[in-house]
A = this chain, B = another copy of it.
């Protein structure tokens, strides 16, 4: 029943991957362009925005989760979507949590680039899309640091996921929430086993990314 069989473990792990990778992609899709914009040419108000983004990294996930959860609750403004305790709600919360980290790290990467770099690209008449692609290649190291850090954050996050997903068996139960659950049940062995799986997952993902990141240079 509450025993951890292979079947359950697999489905929890898959769900974890699904939620985390989706959130990661969304966070990147939103955060990278934002970071590139904020990290580029200075403009009035940029510093204020940066300060806000940076503060965002300190937003407690439990509260972010709570906010999102209340949004999706039956009584909440988005109650009609019937997304309370759903994977979708979890993803929304995760994206919100990862976003500031992604933006802040992309900003740091873009800002440390040689300022002439952007000018050189422009004067070669390279259109915007290609420019972005070249920029991403250029800030590869910083970008992958951002990806790995936010993946780590998303993967190990529990507070928001608990609030929005509710650890529903077979639906929104992911690795971290089950770890918490087993901890609260006093079944530390199962908790550790799941933690090992989580770390293993991260090891694989981070290992892959690290390979890419530092693969070219030796």
Contacts and interface: CB of A to CB of B under 8 A. Distances in A.
Interface size on A, as a range, is 35 or more
Interface string A63-75: 1001000100000
Given A55-B203, A206-B58, A195 B63 contact: yes
Nearest to A97: B156
Interface in A30-67: 42, 46-47, 50-52, 54-63, 66
Interface string A129-156: 0000000000101101100110111011
Interface string A184-217: 0000100110010011011101110111011001
Complex A-B, nearest 10 residue pairs according to Cβ-Cβ distance, in ascending order: A57-B152, A58-B202, A108-B145, A54-B206, A63-B195, A58-B152, A60-B156, A55-B206, A55-B203, A51-B210
Given A62-B176, A155-B58, A210 B50 contact: yes
A151 B202 CA distance: 22
A100 interface: yes
